[in-house]
Amino acid sequence: MSRIDRRFAKLKAAGRTGLIPFVTAGDPAPAHMVALMHALVDAGADLIELGVPFSDPMADGPVIQHASERAIAQGVGLKEVLDWVGEFRGRDADTPIVLMGYLNPVEIHGYARFAQEAVAAGVDGVLLVDCPLEESAVLQPLRVAGLQQILLAAPTTAPSRMAQLCGSAEGFLYYVSFAGITGAAHLSTGDIAARVADIRTRAKAPVAVGFGIRDAASAKAIAGFADAVVIGSALVERLSGATDAAEITARAQGFLQPIRAALDAH
């Protein structure tokens, strides 16, 4: 059983909804990245999505675009990201880590080399936004090495394709709550509920819902029908500009704790 599978099994046994924060690796401060990751866990994160910065984040809104630009300007690349995961693992052997990003940095790094280094660092899965199931043959070395490929499903996904995604899902299936980019806010809970309920009966893996979740209220609205919620842009926005470790930790905790409480009160 993978670290991600164990984590979701534990959540299920406890009857809790998982909390998955997304942060862009290297933002707001490369020097305090590992401290930030531990702070997320202390504030109640069940799994961390670490964004690998990319120069052309086609599926991201301005908040994550700018976070990526800042991280790249500070020289953050895959090597730094993997080093941080390795360092994080020194103190946390349980919290799963999924690298989220785009294909080109992995392609240029080399699939086999990336797979080996990521597993050695303690990465559990990858969510490559621009690598749909149809193109995922290139990820074979990652699978062989034991990295789980987190797939996305969207409101536009056709029924036949949804069946295919549900059948191929591993780790968890990430349901994108609306057609759009990260950071936009049109959460429409009613539409999502029916769709996610249907997917959950069919998917081989738990279902996390992301896009449009910004705070305790929106997280709670989703918690009723999802196995986990993903929160990205709102957290990245809250963190941006913080420079020292204490400030970063305080902001991360101040942001996540009310959400954790709302999910647990559910």
Partner 1 sequence: MPTIQDYHRWPDEHGRFGNYGGSYVAETLMAPLAELGEAYERLRQDAGFLAELDRDLQHYVGRPSPVYHAERLSQHVGGARILLKREDLNHTGAHKINNTVGQALVARHMGKRRIIAETGAGQHGVASATVAARLGMQCVVYMGAVDIERQKINVYRMKLLGAEVVPVTSGSKTLKDALNEAMRDWVTNVADTFYIIGTVAGPHPYPKMVRDFNAIVGREARAQVLAQYGRLPDVLTACVGGGSNAIGLFHAFLNDADVRIVGAEAAGEGIATGHHAASLAAGRPGVLHGNRTYVLCDDNGQITETHSISAGLDYPGVGPEHAFLKDAGRAEYVGVTDDEAMEAFHLLARTEGILAALESSHAVAQAMKLARELPKDGIVLCNLSGRGDKDVHTIAAREGVEV
Q: Which is nearer to partner 1, 164 or 253 (CB)?
A: 164
Q: Does the annotation count 264 as an active-site position?
A: no
59, burial (CB in 10 Å: exposed 0-12, middle 13-18, buried 19+): middle
Sign of the alpha-carbon dihedral angle for 227, 163, 168, 78:
negative
- Does residue 166 belong to the site contacting partner 1 (CB under 8 A)? no
Cβ pair 187, 218 in contact under 8 A: yes
Q: Which is nearer to partner 1, 78 or 205 (CB)?
A: 78
Within 13 Å of residue 161, how many CA atoms lie on the same side as its CB? 11
Rounded least distance, CB 150 to partner 1, Å? 11
Question: CB within 8 A of 111, min separation 6: which ones?
Answer: 138, 139, 140, 141, 142
Which of 109, 195, 238, 260 is close enough to bind partner 1 by CB under 8 A? 109
- φ/ψ of residue 146, rounded to 5: 105, 10
Which of 131, 203, 234, 236 is close enough to bind partner 1 by CB under 8 A? 131
Cβ pair 16, 263 in contact under 8 A: yes
Which of 58, 112, 197, 250 is close enough to bind partner 1 by CB under 8 A? 58
User: Of residues 5, 27, 46, 60, which has the active-site annotation?
Assistant: 60
Residues 172-211: x/- map of binding to partner 1 (CB under 8 A)? ----x--xxx--x---------------------------
Which of 29, 43, 153, 262 is close enough to bind partner 1 by CB under 8 A? 153
Which of 1, 13, 14, 158 is close enough to bind partner 1 by CB under 8 A? 158
100, burial (CB in 10 Å: exposed 0-12, middle 13-18, buried 19+): buried
Rounded least distance, CB 156 to partner 1, Å? 4
How far apart (Å, rounded) are the C-alpha atoms in residues 2 and 96? 9
Piece of the chain touching partner 1 by CB under 8 A; list 33-41, 87-95, 131-139, 243-251: 131-139
- Does residue 106 belong to the site contacting partner 1 (CB under 8 A)? yes
For 77-91, give one letter per residue: b (16+ CB within 10 A) or e: bbebbbebbbebbee
Total length of the chain = 266
- Does residue 55 belong to the site contacting partner 1 (CB under 8 A)? yes
Residue of 263, 169, 166, 172 lying closest to 221 (CA atoms)? 263
- Does residue 112 belong to the site contacting partner 1 (CB under 8 A)? no
Rounded least distance, CB 219 to partner 1, Å? 22
- Does residue 30 belong to the site contacting partner 1 (CB under 8 A)? no
Residues lying near partner 1 in the complex (CB under 8 A) are found at 53-59, 61-62, 65-66, 69, 72, 77-79, 102-109, 129-132, 134-135, 151-158, 161, 176, 179-181, 184
